[in-house]
Amino acid sequence: MQRLPVSADMNCQEIWRADIDLVHRNRRAVDPQDQSDAFLQISSIAALLAARRLVNIGTVIAMIAS
């Protein structure tokens, strides 16, 4: 998978990565609201990338579906 540059503050990227890692590592132990929040974060990031035409719609769908 090709990594695309994201123009976000590195601190924000680390926070997002930590949130996403928490959901994936503890899928059964995480509150459903936390999972919903992580899904919204991923969806928002994917939508921003698509709007900036950094990724195509297929990649966005794959990001949201994973």
pLDDT digits (tens, 9 = 90+) for 35-45: 677 777 877 77
d(CA 53, CA 37): 24
Asked if residue 46 has pLDDT above 70, the reply is yes
Q: How confident is the model at residue 59 (pLDDT cuts 50, 70, 90)?
A: confident
Whether 64 contacts 46, CB under 8 Å: yes
Token couple for 56? 């195509």
d(CA 32, CA 38): 10
